[in-house]
Chain A
Amino acid sequence: MQDELVSLVTFTIDDREVSALAGMTILDAATAAGIDIPHLCSDPRLEPTGACRLCVVEIEGERGVQTSCTRQVQPGMVVRANTEKTFALRKSTLEMLLSEHRVACTTCDMDGGCLLQDYSYQYQASETALPNIALPCDQDNYSSGDKAIVYDASKCVRCQLCVRFCSEIQMVEALTLRGRGGDVEVTTGFDIELNESACELCGGCVNICPTGAMYDRQAMGMGRPNDLVKVRTTCSYCGVGCQLDLNVNPKLDRIVRVTSEVGCVPNDGNLCVKGKYAFDFVHSPDRLTTPLIREKGELREASWDEAIATAAAGLAATRDEYGPEGVAFLSSARCTNEENYLMQKLARMAGRTNNVDQCATTCHAPTVAGLAAAFGSGAMTNSIAEIEDVQTIFLIGGNPTEAHPIVGLGMKRALRKGARLIVADPRVTWLAARADIHIKHRPGTDNILVNAMMNHIITNGLHNEEFVKERVENYEAFRENISAQTVEEAAEVCGVEADLIRKAAEWYAEGTPSSIFYTLGITEHTCGTENVKNLANLAMLCGQIGKESSGVNPIRGQNNVQGACDMGAMAGKLPGYQMWSDDVTRAKFEEAWGGVLPSNPGGTVTDFIEKAGEGVLKALYCFGEDPVRSEPNTTKVLKELGQLQFLVCQDIFMSETAKLADVILPAACFAEKDGTFTNTERRVQRVRKAVAPPGEAKADWEILCDVSTAMGYPMSYEQPKEIWDELASLTPNLAGISYERLENEGGLQWPCPAPDHPGTKFLHGNGFTRGKGLFHEITFREAAELPDDEYPMILSTGRTLYNYNVGNMTRPTLAVEAKQPENFVEIHEEDAARLGIKQGDRVRVETRRGMITAAAHVATKVRPGAIWMPFHYGESSTNYLTNDAFDNITRTAEYKVCAAKIEPVS
């Protein structure tokens, strides 16, 4: 199919015959052919604009010169890129640009990395050919007080890349131009402060600036491009897995700024505020730098030897005394594949228990369980790059422009390409506000909504009969189950118009191609797994899966939650989702690991906490997680974890959980170690060490080896690559991936069973992993706790653009803190008016489990009767409120629905 789309054009440039894809610009075709044409205002991500006039070429048969960035190649076209005339024009243009540029290279942060400087040198353009008319450099502007971005109009070449990026890619239009002629400057609308504007701090303007006009405030004076070393690594925030370049000043052993390169996968040089700016935590003075041991109730510093010995002894003693149910290991979706592999191996071989889990339980375990049941494989079926070509996007329970901004950019791109957008979300998110259909349903009613859509589809014969017949089983029972589910009843229960449901169903069924996207709005319910299964039902019913840009796409929340699951850091599965209950598999691992695998069923993190409270679980090794902050009903969690006899925490900060620990092991963060992460689209990508860990902190994999060895199961590796080689040899899906390939080819998507396998772009193309897809009969049931007279509101929680989970990594960044300094609660203006709450008021939010205060954000973003809060703020921790009611299959908590009341703080 691809071959049909791609047609080649042959043309001549500088007497060379060159082939290019039809539709390519002369500039791109020339660049691909290795012919250098200077350009300042062109970027492959943006529509060409032809402003700088440097890329002029001569085209045979045409008068004058043409800009190569705006002209598409035509068959037989004869282009002369480098002639006397183009050279002279470019040189004159450069001299013009230099004349309106404050040539301050000696003090400029971009000295050595500035395109104007490079071209001026190349063309020997003189900065004295014309009188200098640069704008004044010391003028206050919209960026003067900004913590993240600084704009200096005197260095601006008016290429407008920043403005166009802000409008075309980011689509926030925070930046604009003002003035005419030589007075043109970049600014915000009405010159308001950047921080007050629509700016989302993605830093795209800074990254795209060809000169030093737009720069990172905190990086000023911290090193010029030639002083800095770029270390390519993978972002450690959400599951998108953006490729970052950590710009390190080796003299300072410090990350100075973060950039990204156009063309890199999956983010194509685009970043969000977290990837771009939230790295200050790395060098935070609050990092743990030395091992700590609790003695007489107080923590004291200890040597590594002592700390390892104490940790190992405590764990081993509990294991020996209480058996496999007495000890548990909490692995980390924030850490590398290698480390997760080691942790589950440690749990099983040194801890002799299947009590191993990580935070997938907190978020996407229903995805893994639900999709595995329906398709046989619990991962995102398509790639991020396929999003832009989806024709009908059905986004339910997800807010990618905030939680997964680069996936959000893909959807924005799809919108620009004409996609239809259906959003089902109780909140008016950025995408919901721009959706063709927004179903603003009551939280917790997803299943009845989806059932009604499917009923409407079947009733109107819009389903894909052939697909259903050939590729799915259990259709009749499934159909029978939803046959009575009317759209009207669903509309009543969901609190939306019936016609919206019908139209959404029709559009989704007919879309070519359609694709479902969801996140925790689907999974964090007591019916989370059922929700996921039902979305799988919808996709299979319409045959909207198993093809390019079409499938069921959960977007994973943590940088390596996919990898942590892949690595078997969960009770039921060994690496690669191999079942420990399977004899052949067991034998393979027992031979490789040199020991006997445990046989207890093991539990999830929510089980661990409950069991601790019940006095069954005695010791916990918690690594890179903070369950006190992240699990629901904090008061209860604290009480339950308090029952543990022995708690080991391994972390980069003194987390709330670490404060309870007997031994604390200081760990390296993502920028201080090597390894791999696997992103939401199953892409394994490298993590590379950029700076040294602070103090005595060590890479997690080293600590894990030491603890395991001290517990009596020796583990020793020289470097993470060795760990990878071992795990890949045991995991068929990853067998073809090696560090060498990752180095040479970039990230690879599993399944990748052999060294010559290119990786898998989308799943289930030639049949489902489990053979036939399986329809499930899902019946709607209400959430565990519904509003009543005493607690009349529905509280949902979620993530914001600026902060990440428990906030300790994002909040050290000043620009982030300036943008979103405190916890808040969104409330509908009708409710606010009734309760006497005004914008910005402090309010008390209370549930049966706890009470906190926060600032009120009054608008119409949430439904009347609903409130919404983030959970990023330790001083006002939302999980004191959330309900510890769990999904019946995966034990994921119902963060999205609980009953609450809200009142002004008098």
Chain B
Amino acid sequence: MPLSKIQTSEMLDTPNHGRRNLIINGAMRFAQRATTAAVDATGYKTVDRFLMNIHSDFNSKSTMTKNLDSLTPPDYFNDYVGLKIDTATTASGDVYFNFRQQIEAKNISHLKFGTSSAKTLTVSFWVRSTLTGNFSFTLRNGPSDRSFVTTYNISAANTWEKKTITIAGDTTGNWTIDNGVGLTVNFGHGSSQGTYSTSTLNQWQSGSKTGATGSVKMVETVNSKWYITGLQVEVGDTDTDFEHLSYGEEQTLCQRYFWRQFINGANVIYDRVYWNGAGQNSIHDFPAPAGMRINAATVTCSPTTNGTSVTFTYHQHGTISIYRATANGDNYIYAQDLSINAEL
């Protein structure tokens, strides 16, 4: 076989080599916390790695649901996530209602942002809404003082549309490469006025901006909905097919940031000792994922029982230590819902 048949010029294009998507869980497959939740405040609600970042004016006014309304997803996808406005709220002043993924800085260091060698990125996604018009999209750096704001247009209501946005890398600004936030990929739905909005589009600028002036504010329309899947951010000026990872790979990537063990009605941790005398201490280690983003992760354990002198500590080498100052007699701990939060 001629060499040209094996190694074509197309195959030499950078986008065709290796792992491409900087987004984790872009196909919205994993939702360890819940599949539906009220957006009661800023926080991670349903699909892994996607943060709802909202002003308190919008607390408990919307719902976030994996596979909202059981729609047929776009071709080659099985899942999506949807936002629904349950109570309309006027967006006035310096407010915001954002759906975003914060990419860890260690995962974008190769982009060389903040230098003259900054690489171009292409963002692609499938989106659908009950509303039409120009919606806000932003890339922002970790320290939140550099923003690139643009819009994408949804031309037909209730129809999946694929959008592609190409953005030249930022050649200035402070772009960190630690385990904090490196690049925020933001979809704005309520900040088209006030401090967080801008009419300066399609170029990098100073400040934290998450909305294009005059863009759609779905927070103001009761029962409005917005759905997304297939989010991909890749190096280069060309959008390639969505990179579908194996289930296990994607799960592992998600679990660097959040891990949960929950089997309805079953103990995921059970530990019991009987002491003849008070004042004894015990430490037992249970397995947990190694290499989560931070060693100082929060451990949430429910229910726990027997006494107040119990603590849970995560260790990046892959354990949870349970310390207990025991009381005289029977001492036991159990948990049916155990999670470790190392999110950004």
* Same complex: no
Interface of B with A (CB < 8 Å)? none
